[in-house]
């Protein structure tokens, strides 16, 4: 029998023996999308429900449908800010609490049990960045999963039976095809291993009280924060949200302008930055271009931009709200507790990761040029987020080249001396500021302490003198009660001095700084376990 004669019979056999999780499509389509080799459609169903079709096949198993949806979101084929309401309904129907019962009743012809409700609601339902229900794995009973596995195992058996019948016809062609496919399989395997290694690189070291995971860099977007444009407010709405920029809503002042806390009509708390008048020097197109650039910054250690308004005499930026104040406030003891050494080290690593992202992984090289403790915001879990991009400027794609400015901007004590002298800005200018910040984190002293004696007014000079004298313990914040190994402290201070070198050629890159901090972090973890 020829292969062409067997194909109709094979089609009928597959149709008859398909598992109950699959059926063919007849409903009208509500929304279509594609992901790799999958073409998937949300179909209209009765009673406000929807169906999911993959490559023309209707998926009637809600667990399988949820797994598919989860894969599409994780792969980036579906994005929270872009999906239609049909996809949100599909997520809620297939992956939400009680999704099993609702979907089972809509397909009563499917012979499968309802999944038993878990006693732990948190394992069945969570919230994703879309504001809908979670795409995490559902915890199920062994008996339920085994029944679903029976369906899945039946289908390969049918395929094997068909292949056995057709084997004599395709034996000759298979030999040649197998040789051609070998190279393709090998390439795909290498690519799969590479992507697996990349995806696992940020998960190799689980976080503990004395260990933190390596930098998520470009692979870790800010969690639970909507994309730019998701917050669209008029000037009148902003005035209501801040009670006409009431002083009681004021959070502080940054390089861009005054910062206010605002509550949106839906209850979301955001930060509203109102531009100073000197921020109006550039044309509106320049401001819009800068906002568009900043909107593409996506890292968990950088404050996300949510929206902006540029009308009349007002230029306003809306960002995520970080609730736990600034690093400087915590070093000053304004929040009632002293940061321990472990928290300070984690904050330094977070800031290094954020600056590395700006310098290397943003669409263009971005130089913050105002890195300081009051621009480091802390979350409730004491993770750092770098804020205030009012001074941020895009630099050249070649990070060794310079960005020439006609006006020096920044904060006294943190400014790169070469930038002051030449007006040439490079990523190494941020490295200098980070070195000053690292000394500040360890000592809790500001870069310039005018009320101290002349020998102690410039903190970096005083620190270097104490270091050379061997009095490194005198550098540490006197409020710190943690035991810190001398070798760990020496390495941290040496790294700070490298960053604050007078010439940029003697400074490491922020990527190198982050790597050194991570090694010091591991050494600190070992030292405290010995105590």
CA atoms within 13 A on the CB side of 274: 20
| Residue 523 CB partners (closer than 8 Å, separation 6+) | 485, 487, 488, 491
Q: What angle do CA 26, 29, 30 make, to 5 degrees?
A: 145
Q: Smallest Cα–Cα separation from 99: which of 57, 58, 132, 71? A: 132
* CB distance 260 to 269 below 8 Å: no
Query: Which of 47, 149, 292, 370 does the annotation list as catalytic?
Result: 370
Helix (H) or strand (E) holding 40: strand 38-44
| Sign for the pseudo-dihedral over CA of 22, 28, 30, 36 | positive
Residue 162 DSSP SS3: helix
Which positions ≥6 away from 319 have C-beta within 8 Å? 270, 271, 273, 303, 304, 305, 306, 387
Q: Are 520 and 514 in contact (CB under 8 A)?
A: no
Nearest partner of 270 among 308, 297, 314, judged by Cα: 308
Lookup result for tokens 């568009």: 292
Tokens of 187: 């390439």
For residue 430, indicate whether it is catalytic.
Answer: no
What does the alpha-carbon distance between residue 397 and residue 353 come to, in Å, rounded to a whole number?
19
Burial 257-293 (b: 16+ CB within 10 A, else e): bbbbbbebeeeeebbbbbbeeebeeeeeeebeebbeb
Distant-in-sequence, close-in-space partners of 96: CB < 8 Å, separation ≥ 6: 125, 132, 133
**Residue 32 CB partners (closer than 8 Å, separation 6+):** 39, 40, 41, 42
Cα maximum dimension of the chain: 100
Segment (H or E) for 146: helix 142-200
| Residues recorded for the chain | 531
The closest of 324, 350, 322, 135 to 225, measured between CA atoms, is: 322
| 8 A C-beta contact, residue 409 and residue 256 | no
Check the annotation: does 277 bind a ligand. Answer: yes
Question: Virtual CA dihedral for 110, 116, 121, 126, nearest 10 degrees?
Answer: -20
Give the SS3 label for residue 309.
strand
Q: Are strands 269-275 and 366-367 parallel, antiparallel or unpaired?
A: unpaired
How far apart, in whole angstroms, are the C-alpha atoms of residue 260 and residue 249?
5
| Binding site members for ATP | 277
| Binding site members | 277
Q: Would you name the residues annotated as active-site residues? A: 370
């Amino acid at each position: 029998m020829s292969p062409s004669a067997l194909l109709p019979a094979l089609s009928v056999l597959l149709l008859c023996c398909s598992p109950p999780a699959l059926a063919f499509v007849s409903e009208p389509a509500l929304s279509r999308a594609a992901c790799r080799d999958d073409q998937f459609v949300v179909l209209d169903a009765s009673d406000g429900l929807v169906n999911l079709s993959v490559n023309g096949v209707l998926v009637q198993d809600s667990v399988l449908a949820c797994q598919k949806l989860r894969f599409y979101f994780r792969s980036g084929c579906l994005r929270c800010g872009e999906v239609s309401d049909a996809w949100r309904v599909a997520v809620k129907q297939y992956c939400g609490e009680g999704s099993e019962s609702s979907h089972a009743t809509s397909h009563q012809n499917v012979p499968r049990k309802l999944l038993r409700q878990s006693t732990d609601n948190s394992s069945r339902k969570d919230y994703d960045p879309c504001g809908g229900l979670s795409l995490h794995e559902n915890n199920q009973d062994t008996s339920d999963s085994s029944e679903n596995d029976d369906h899945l195992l039946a289908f390969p058996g049918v395929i094997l039976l068909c292949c056995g019948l057709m084997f004599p016809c395709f034996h000759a062609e298979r030999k040649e095809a197998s040789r051609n496919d070998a190279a393709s399989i090998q390439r795909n395997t290498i690519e799969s291993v590479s992507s697996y290694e990349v995806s696992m690189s940020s998960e190799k070291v689980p976080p503990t009280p004395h260990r933190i995971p390596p930098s998520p860099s470009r692979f870790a977007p800010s969690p639970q924060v909507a994309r730019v444009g998701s917050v669209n407010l008029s000037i009148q709405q902003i005035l209501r949200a801040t009670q006409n920029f009431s002083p009681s809503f004021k959070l502080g002042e940054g390089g861009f302008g005054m910062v206010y806390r605002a509550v949106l009509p839906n209850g979301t708390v955001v930060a509203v930055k109102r531009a100073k008048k000197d921020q109006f020097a550039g044309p509106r197109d320049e401001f819009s271009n800068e906002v568009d650039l900043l909107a593409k910054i996506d890292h968990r250690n950088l404050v996300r931009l949510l929206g902006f308004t540029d009308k009349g005499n007002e230029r306003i930026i809306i960002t995520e709200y970080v609730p736990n104040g600034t690093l400087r406030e915590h070093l000053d003891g304004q929040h009632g507790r002293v940061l321990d050494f472990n928290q300070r080290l984690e904050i330094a690593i977070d800031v290094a990761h954020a600056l590395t992202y700006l310098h290397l992984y943003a669409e263009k090289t971005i130089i913050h040029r105002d890195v300081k403790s009051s621009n480091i915001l802390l979350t409730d879990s004491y993770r750092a987020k770098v804020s205030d991009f009012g001074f941020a400027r895009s630099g050249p794609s070649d990070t060794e080249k310079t960005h020439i400015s006609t006006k020096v901007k920044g904060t006294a004590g943190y400014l790169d001396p070469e930038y002051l002298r030449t007006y040439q800005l490079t990523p190494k200018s941020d490295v200098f500021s980070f070195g000053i910040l690292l000394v500040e984190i360890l000592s809790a002293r500001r870069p310039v302490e005018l009320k101290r004696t002349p020998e102690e007014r410039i903190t970096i000079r005083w620190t270097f003198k104490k270091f050379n004298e061997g009095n490194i313990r005198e550098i540490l914040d006197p409020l710190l009660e943690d035991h810190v190994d001398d070798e760990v402290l020496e390495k941290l201070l040496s790294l700070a001095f490298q960053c604050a070198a007078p010439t940029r050629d003697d400074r490491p890159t922020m990527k190198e700084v982050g790597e050194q901090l991570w090694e010091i972090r591991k050494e600190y973890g070992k030292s405290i376990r010995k105590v």
